[in-house]
Chains A and B, each alone.
Chain A
Amino acid sequence: MLALNLTAFRTIVRKEIRRFMRIWVQTITPPAINALLYLVIFGGLIGSRISEMGGVSYLTFIMPGIIMMGIIMNSYANVSSSFFSGKFQRSIEEMLVSPVSNLTILLGFITGGVCRGLLVGFIVAVVALGFTQTVPAHPLITLLVATMASVVFSLGGLINAVLARSFDDISIIPNFVLTPLTYLGGIFFSIELLSGFWQAIAKLNPILYMINGFRFGILGSSDIPLLHTFVVLLLFILFLGSIAMRMLSTGKGIKG
């Protein structure tokens, strides 16, 4: 069974990568263009009028958050749209009638989401290098935080797709939850600028921990202790992972 599931896992990952590479104009280029615009407008034009933030230039300060935003949004979008398209076209049935285990299905989709998230993150980082020649202070921590955050949002995308009944349903969470939380998660500002009450509120936002953990990996400093970032990431992976497994096991939203 292990050999069967390894082959099936590779098949799902290959299919997922083939899907987002086939439509690269929709999946890969927009985040790069968005990042370019953020860096030009916020980093270059507006940022040049701001002295420093977190001990570095404003452009350098916002760069990790912009990369992380690309990773979060694209990991989520990849799994939610791929899984929901599979439901919509009923091609998900190919998997359900096969002996592949639910865990393999979950890992296959999550790995697909992580691949797109990290690819977009890499491209945005390359774009950012044109503005600020910052080399990651802790490359392994950078990669680990990026990968774990990508897993969290891939899991979120899968849960959203299982529950969704229309394409509108898979755009609600990114538009009304993820985008506000990402913008309020410290991409463009240090939470030290906030008063005590608003700092406490901001710390309820899990994305704050991911962006700051990633910022620590790149810049070597952050508003949040690194341990907190890893605890939040791990808890979310376990929590969302168990929900996703439960959904796949019961067939809720997938089977008749």
Chain B
Amino acid sequence: MNGEKALIIHQLHKTYAGDVIALKQVDLEVEKGDFFALLGPNGAGKSTLIGILSSLVNKTSGQVHVFGHDIDKHPAAVRKMIGLVPQEFNFNVFESVANIVMTSAGYHGIKRSVAAERTERYLKLLDLWDKRSAAARTLSGGMKRRLMIARALVHEPGLLILDEPTAGVDIEIRRSMWDFLRKLNEEEGKTIILTTHYLEEAESLCRNVAVINHGEIIEQGSVARLLSRAMTQTFVFDIEQPAKATGHQALGDGIQLKFMDDQLEAEIPTGVPLDSVLDFLRKENIQVNSMRAKSNRLETFFLQLVDQD
């Protein structure tokens, strides 16, 4: 038994028909109560990994333990503990919202009276109660995503797995989903694993992260530790008038400036203060209208990792 770990993956390997290798001897551990991000470009193996955890994909070899239960020896116990929110909508679009959640509860052996209470609770929490009698096909994209979250929670799993949960939803809904997931993790102690293309999402929500590429885990650790290893960060300054200088200019301490018409990009190594860039702007009489980070730090680090790989 590995009681303290929500998930232990050891030497997990998956080869699809045609000798396509999706996962290569993957090792991964997720602590109980963690908020964990699995990052990787398209085709990296994220969905295959999640598919194996949730019994939708047969593994080729390796071991998986969920809250101490072996996925081969106790598949039913593992499935009880996992709630899956897949990337694509996978419910009967002709069913009503409440029936979809109730049916999922039934598959988990939850009696109808209890299932009805939980359905009401989660549909209310996810702002779908008013839509309970509507056919799922009539919901907006954001509502459909929230419906899949309600369905994944109705059997009250210890581990919630979300595969790109906010793909295609607008910013307002994305933020409200973030708040909801944060509460689930902090107040109810649910272990959450999510894959996402929005690295801001991982940086904002997650404590630990693994980066997967070409079926291999190429980096794993706390978000804070990975960010400290990010080598550079790029800032964009919107300037009042085009600068006299053009092209690239080095500023010392490894700072690189890139001049464009009404913008200046400053690439600054981690740990180097912005002061020398601000001093330079003052000295050159360059008036700055606004400033922003070009990409978030995790994104920069992620791209560096994937490029190296």
Task: Please give the residue numbers on chain A whose beta carbons come within 8 Å of chain B beta carbons, in ascending order.
Answer: 1, 3-5, 7-8, 10-12, 14-15, 18, 22, 85-86, 89-91, 93-101, 251, 255-256
In the complex, whether B79 has a CB less than 8 A from a CB of chain A is yes
A to B CB contacts below 8 Å, 12 in the list? A1-B76, A3-B109, A7-B110, A86-B92, A90-B90, A91-B90, A94-B90, A94-B103, A97-B55, A100-B107, A255-B55, A256-B58
- Whether B76 lies near A99 (C-beta < 8 A) is yes
Bound-state CA distance A256–B55 (Å) is: 9
Nearest chain B CB to A103 CB, angstrom units: 12
Q: How far is the CA of A129 from the CA of B92 in the complex (A)?
A: 38
Looking at B80-88, B174-182, B284-292, B295-303, the stretch in contact with chain A turns out to be B80-88
Chain B contact residues, CB within 8 Å of chain A: 16, 48, 51, 54-58, 75-77, 79-80, 82, 84, 86, 88-94, 99, 103-104, 106-111, 151, 155
B104 touches A98 (CB 8 A): yes
Given A94-B151, A251-B58, residue A89 in contact with residue B80 (CB < 8 A): no
Contact A4 B56 (CB under 8 A): no
* Contacts A4-B109, A86-B92, A98-B108; A255 near B56 (Cβ below 8 A): yes
Q: Which residues of B contact A11 (CB under 8 A)?
A: 103, 106-107
Nearest B residue to A94 via CB reads B104
A98 to B80, CA, bound (A): 7
Min C-beta distance of A93 to chain B, whole Å:
5
User: For residue B155, which residues in chain A have a CB less than 8 angstroms away from its CB?
Assistant: 98
CA distance A3 to B58 in the complex (A): 27
A94, A95, A251 interface centre (most CB from chain B within 10 Å):
A94
Write out the residue numbers on chain A whose beta carbons fall within 8 Å of the beta carbon of B108.
4, 8, 98-100
A120 to B104, CA, bound (A): 29
Cβ-neighbour of A93 out of B16, B86, B111 (below 8 A): B86
Other than the known A5-B109, A93-B56, what 5 A-B pairs have Cβ atoms closer than 8 Å?
A4-B109, A8-B106, A94-B91, A99-B75, A100-B109
Selected from B80, B92, B94, the residue in CB contact (under 8 A) with A99 is: B80
* A residues in contact with B80, CB < 8 Å: 99
Interface of A is mostly: helix
Distance of B105 from chain A, by nearest CB (Å)? 8
Of all chain B residues, the one with the shortest Cβ separation from A85 is B92
Q: By the criterion CB–CB under 8 Å, are A22 and B58 in contact?
A: no
A10 touches B92 (CB 8 A): no
Partner of A255, one of B57, B76, B79: B57
Residue of A nearest to B107 (CB): A98
Cβ 8 A contact of B16, one of A10, A97, A256: A256
CB-based nearest A residue for B110: A7
A95 to B94, CA, bound (A): 17
State A22–B94 Cα separation when bound (angstroms).
Answer: 9
- CB <8 Å contact, B77 and A99: yes
Residue of A nearest to B76 (CB): A99
Q: Which residues of A contact B106 (CB under 8 A)?
A: 7-8, 10-12, 14
Residue of A nearest to B16 (CB): A256
Asked if A94 and B107 sit within 8 Å, CB to CB, the answer is: yes
Q: A4 to B103, alpha carbons, bound, how many Å?
A: 13
Q: Give chain A nearest CB distance to B36 CB in angstroms.
A: 19
CA distance A101 to B51 in the complex (A): 18
> Which residues of B are found within 8 Å of A1, using beta-carbon distances?
76
**Nearest chain A residue, comparing its CB with the CB of B86:** A93
CA distance A89 to B92 in the complex (A): 7
Chain A residues closer than 8 Å to B110, beta-carbon distance: 7
A18 vs B95: C-alpha distance in the bound complex, in angstroms?
A: 9
Whole-angstrom distance between the Cβ of B47 and the nearest chain A Cβ:
9
Which of A7, A15, A18, A98 is within 8 Å of B79, CB to CB? Answer: A98
Contacts of B88 in A (CB 8 A): 90
Given A18-B99, A256-B16, does the pair A89, B107 have CB atoms closer than 8 Å? no
A242 to B14 alpha-carbon distance, docked (Å): 28
**Which chain A positions have C-beta within 8 A of B86?**
90, 93
Residue numbers in B under 8 Å from A14 (CB-CB): 106
Closest to A92 in B: B90
